[in-house]
Structures are given as structure tokens and as C-alpha cells.
Amino acid sequence: MTPLPWFLNNQCPLFLAPMARFTDVIFREFCKEQGADVMLTEFVQADAIIRNDPRLWETVDFTEAQRPMGIQIFGSNPDSMGAAAKLLVERMSPDFIDINFGCPAERVICMDAGSSMLRDPRKLGRVTGAVVRAVPETPVTVKIRTGWDESAIVAPEVGEIVENEGARAITIHGRTKEQGYRGEADWNLIAQVAAERSIPVIGNGNIREASDVIRIRSETPCAGLMIGRAALGYPRIFRDIKQVLATGKSPVPPTIAERWITIIDYTRRIMARPFREERHRDLCWMRPKFIALTKGMPGSRKMRGELGTVVQIEDLEKVAARHCERFGEAFPAGACA
């Protein structure tokens, strides 16, 4: 059996949650620089990996500096899941393979994958076992939700099944499929599974600041914590949390101009990557990312309207400069060149 992932022997590491269309290789670079300990690619479909779809190889790309890195796969057929995991391990050598059993999106449910699997824990176990056997040298982890809905909570049962199938850690997003991303995460249930299982449990759901981490660490035996949406507009969250844990003092928040400099730097780095798709030639496709990256900034309604018209990097700089000006900050000319 593969050993437990070494990064989980650490002191409750902070994971960046996989978020499709947002946690690309450049965004992960920022989070790593800001102190994220462990990261995953967004999910990729096993069958598409087997078909050798070139776009997917870009999705699963990562740099050595980003390790420990996991690649996340989804699908419902044990053989193709195993075959895809093997191809990914051979070509990318990730530190672990993670299986997505939590996605609530309709297109994934239709394939009987993602959170659909929570309706059939035995099948979920077969998929896990097939992946574990296909990559005997690489730890396999799974990411689940608590269940399909409130009347079908399966996290304790699934925890036991995947542990018996050889999974080396389990991440629990403390919401049901029916909850989507709304409402509170059930940390009592996460704590229960973490206490019952001998493999590490990574807790996930609504961690927004250092005080959440301090509370969860004292109330649950989680071996790691995973942060999703709170990192999207604010990759510095990892650094802030670590600073509070180390010193007890909250860091000075970044200025609006500093946040824009990060966003523009990110955009430049994304656009410098080789693209295969014509639609990636200008910034129109990045507008949803800009909305996520500016989350929590003051005066966002007007600024978001402006972001909806951005085509070139110069347009983005103008939006940044106008927004800073509205809040009495100077946007330093040439700061992002």
C-alpha cells in the first residue's frame, strides 16, 4: 500500500480547493507564493484524458514549485478511471491523484459521475479501488460531499468504503449536493468522520479567515483544511492565516491598488502562455475571472460594469486606475509593466 501522503504528516496544511475555470496554473502560482501548502488541478474527465484531448493537458499542467500537487479526475467507469490515472501519473508524475465525487453540475451528474456517485457508495468504492490499483506507487485521495441531500447523508459510510479500497486521504466538503454552494457546511459531520477514520480527513466548506481555521483546528481532528472561494478574490488569505497562527496578529490588508496590481500581473502571465484556442486571443474570455478576482472590493457594481467591456490589457489598467481614483488611491502608472 502507498504510504500516507507525506504532506499530510505536516501541521494541518492549507489546501487550495480545485475550482474549475479559476484555479489555473498561474492562479496556483500566486496561491503558492502566498503560502498555500497543497494544491490540486481542477477536475478533468477520465475519458477525455484517454482520448488525448490536448486542452486537458493544459488544464493538468503544473510547475515543480507548485508541488505537492494532485491531479483530480472524474468519471464513473472503473476501468477508464484507472487507465486515465495511469496515463496522468506516467506523463505528469503528480504527488497524488484525487477523485472527484462531489461535483453537483448537471453535465457531470448526467454522466453518473461527481456527486452522482454518492447515491451508490458501492460503485464509488469500485471506482476508487480501480484507481488505487492502477497507480500503485501514487497515493490516491477522494473528495466528496456529505451526501446527495439531507435525507441521504453518506460521508461516514463512504469514508469507510474508500479507506478499505486503499484511498490515502479523503476531503469532505461539508455540504450536500442539493445545497450546492449555499448554506453552512456541516463541520460536526466532518469531525465525526475524521474521528472514525484512520486515514487523514481534510475539511472543506466556508473557511473565510484565520479565526475559522483556529476554531476548526480546535474543534475537529482534521488533518488538513481546504479553502475555496475565499481564495479566489484574495490569494493572500493563506499568508494572512499563517501570520495570525504564528503571531496572533492580523496583517495589514492590501490597498485597492495592490489588489489591482496582482490582478493585472496575473492577467499578463495568463496571456503570455501559449494558447490553442482562438477565443483566448483577447481578454473577453477572462471577464468571469475578473469578477471573481475583484470580489470583496468596494464599489464593485460600477467597476464590474466596466470590467464587462475589457478587451485588451490597457482597458483593464484603465478600469483599475478609475476604480482606485474613486477611492482616493493612486494607481501607479507602469506598476504592472
Ligand X SMILES: Cc1cc2nc3c(=O)[nH]c(=O)nc-3n(C[C@H](O)[C@H](O)[C@H](O)COP(=O)(O)O)c2cc1C
List of residues contacting ligand X (CB under 6 A): 17-20, 22, 42-43, 72, 100, 102-103, 143, 173, 181, 204-207, 227-230
The rounded distance, in Å, linking the Cα atoms of 49 and 47 is 5
The rounded distance, in Å, linking the Cα atoms of 153 and 158 is 10
CB of 73 to ligand X, least distance (A): 10
Query: Residue 219 in contact with residue 187, Cβ under 8 Å?
Result: yes
- Cell 481532528, residue? 221
CB of 214 to ligand X, least distance (A): 16
DSSP codes of every residue in 115-172: GGGGG-HHHHHHHHHHHHHH-TTS-EEEEEEEESSTT-B-HHHHHHHHHHTT-SEEEE
Residue 80 or residue 146: which is nearer to ligand X going by CB?
146
Query: Residue 168 in contact with residue 199, Cβ under 8 Å?
Result: yes
Which positions ≥6 away from 151 have C-beta within 8 Å? none
Phi, psi of 12 (to 5 degrees): 45, 70
The rounded distance, in Å, linking the Cα atoms of 226 and 36 is 10
The rounded distance, in Å, linking the Cα atoms of 87 and 60 is 12
Residue 56 or residue 335: which is nearer to ligand X going by CB?
56
Which positions ≥6 away from 301 have C-beta within 8 Å? none
Residue 17 or residue 264: which is nearer to ligand X going by CB?
17
Residue 189 or residue 313: which is nearer to ligand X going by CB?
189
DSSP codes of every residue in 271-337: HTS----GGGSSSGGGHHHHHHHTTT-TTHHHHHHHHTT--SHHHHHHHHHHHHHHTT----TTTT-
Assess whether 12 carries a catalytic annotation: no
Residue 126 or residue 145: which is nearer to ligand X going by CB?
145
Q: Distances in Å between the alpha carbon of 282 and those of 118, 217, 219?
A: 40, 43, 47
CB of 21 to ligand X, least distance (A): 6
Q: Which residue is nearest to ligand X (CB)?
A: 228
Catalytic residue of the set 12, 103, 222, 324: 103
CB of 42 to ligand X, least distance (A): 4
CB of 302 to ligand X, least distance (A): 24
Grid cell locating 125: 468504492
CB of 295 to ligand X, least distance (A): 11
Residue 125 or residue 228: which is nearer to ligand X going by CB?
228
Catalytic residues: 103
